[in-house]
Chain A
Amino acid sequence: MSLLASFARRLVIALARTVGSKIVDAETGRVLGRAFLIPWRGKIAVIGLDAEVKPLFLPQKRLTYWKQELGFAVHAPPDFPHEVRPQHPPDPPAP
């Protein structure tokens, strides 16, 4: 990557983390950071977010057919129990 492109990328990321949309955990209300959210060809580009989030449509207290909201949340820390494996070896992946 050229120096100019690298500088431009850093500048955009810094801007996104300063003046971008505030990203809030939809489940806990915790602020996760800021990012630019840009609709593009039927998708949403998330630029500059310094957090690992999963997207989810948010529950609605009022039934509306014309608007739904997409929010973000983070996974709970991994806390899975030990599970006893079956004794046979795993099947190979399907070709």
Chain B
Amino acid sequence: MKSVLNILLTHQPPEAVAAMVDRWKTCMPAESILLAYGGSRADFGAIAHPAKVFIDDPRLRTHDHQREHQSYGGVFRAVAEWMKDRDHSHVHFAEYDHLPLVSDLNQRQLALLHSERADVLGLHLRHVGDTNCAHYLYHAADPEFFPFWESLTCRSDPRVILSMLPTGSFWTREAFDTVAACPEPHPMYVEIFLPTAAHHLGFRIRDYGTQNRFARNVGDWFPHLDEARTAGAWSVHPVKGEWDRLPTPSPS
């Protein structure tokens, strides 16, 4: 039996977190949800959901995420530590503004992972090496960037640099634990580091395909939830604003 752990990364107040967990519970068992909390210690203590880890990593708490190379390394390490004595076979990672729309989301992810013979699924996965991608070029100016991948890779081409949205990513336990344990000796932006590390550590990473259209880095899906559901969305990102303003959950 495959057991998926759903990580929800959030920094919001406890009331908003409770509303978010209530929503996610309509799509997956409550015991499959782990909160990774990047807010204040006081708010963390006030969160009622029992499965939670506090992320004490300044590299998560960036303001200009791209220029400061925001990292989810602390999140991955904390979750890997939490999972140590648990038997989850797969990990689904979502940010606080990601909204599930189907009750069998994890089953669909498992089926896609299986059909792609992949170790990781990512939204908007692409090869950005040697392109004009702004995040890639910003990293390419760092003299430590390419030597790091050359030292890490088991692939024939160390210049392959991948990018994806970290939210919605779906991992085998082995891929997640291996990337969580990967050294991050200098800051690298999460959208570049996670998929590129998985690739160079030998894991097969594939794109979500048709689900990409329901995930963007800006905007707000809130006014278009029914439209997205009708169009075949499994989940949407981002949903900005208050979780308690969302209509009563009715996942298909």
Q: Which residues of B contact A75 (CB under 8 A)?
A: 126-129, 131
Candidates A46, A74, A80; contact of B205 at CB < 8 Å: A80
By the criterion CB–CB under 8 Å, are B152 and A90 in contact? Answer: yes
Q: Please report the C-alpha to C-alpha distance between residue A80 and residue B159 in the assembled complex, in whole angstroms.
A: 13
Which one of A82, A84, A91 has the highest number of Cβ atoms from chain B below 10 Å of its Cβ?
A82
Nearest CB of chain A from residue B224's CB, rounded to whole Å: 22
By the criterion CB–CB under 8 Å, are B130 and A54 in contact? Answer: yes
Give the contact stretch, choosing among B36-44, B87-95, B196-204, B235-243: B196-204
By the criterion CB–CB under 8 Å, are B131 and A53 in contact? Answer: yes
Q: Please report the C-alpha to C-alpha distance between residue A52 and residue B135 in the assembled complex, in whole angstroms.
A: 11
Number of interface residues of A (CB under 8 A): 23
Interface string of A67-91 (1 = CB under 8 A from B): 0000000111111111111100011
Q: Please report the C-alpha to C-alpha distance between residue A19 and residue B126 in the assembled complex, in whole angstroms.
A: 28
Number of interface residues of B (CB under 8 A): 31
The answer, yes or no, to whether B154 is at the interface (CB within 8 Å) is yes
Which of chain A's residues has its CB closest to B127's CB?
A75
Interface string of A39-72 (1 = CB under 8 A from B): 0000000100100111000000000000000000
Question: Interface on chain B toward A: helix, strand, loop, or mixed SS?
Answer: loop
Question: Interface on chain A toward B: helix, strand, loop, or mixed SS?
Answer: loop
The answer, yes or no, to whether B252 is at the interface (CB within 8 Å) is no
By the criterion CB–CB under 8 Å, are A52 and B132 in contact? Answer: yes
By the criterion CB–CB under 8 Å, are A52 and B128 in contact? Answer: yes
Given known pairs A82-B204, A84-B202, the reply for A93 and B185 (CB within 8 Å) is yes
Nearest CB of chain B from residue A80's CB, rounded to whole Å: 6
By the criterion CB–CB under 8 Å, are A77 and B126 in contact? Answer: yes
By the criterion CB–CB under 8 Å, are A83 and B127 in contact? Answer: no
The answer, yes or no, to whether B97 is at the interface (CB within 8 Å) is no
- Among residues 94 to 128 in chain B, which have CB atoms less than 8 Å away from a CB atom of chain A? 117, 119, 125-128
Which of chain A's residues has its CB closest to B135's CB?
A52
Candidates B119, B152, B205; contact of A78 at CB < 8 Å: B205
Candidates B128, B160, B183; contact of A80 at CB < 8 Å: B160
Q: Please report the C-alpha to C-alpha distance between residue A90 and residue B185 in the assembled complex, in whole angstroms.
A: 13
The answer, yes or no, to whether A94 is at the interface (CB within 8 Å) is yes
Q: Please report the C-alpha to C-alpha distance between residue A69 and residue B239 in the assembled complex, in whole angstroms.
A: 45
Q: Which residues of A contact B207 (CB under 8 A)?
A: 77-78
Give the contact stretch, choosing among B12-20, B68-76, B143-151: B143-151
A-B contact pairs, 15 of them (CB 8 A): A46-B132, A52-B132, A76-B127, A78-B125, A78-B205, A78-B206, A78-B207, A79-B206, A82-B117, A82-B204, A84-B154, A85-B201, A90-B151, A91-B151, A93-B151
Additional A-B contacts beyond A80-B199, A92-B151 (7; CB < 8 A): A52-B132, A78-B160, A78-B205, A81-B204, A84-B202, A86-B154, A90-B151
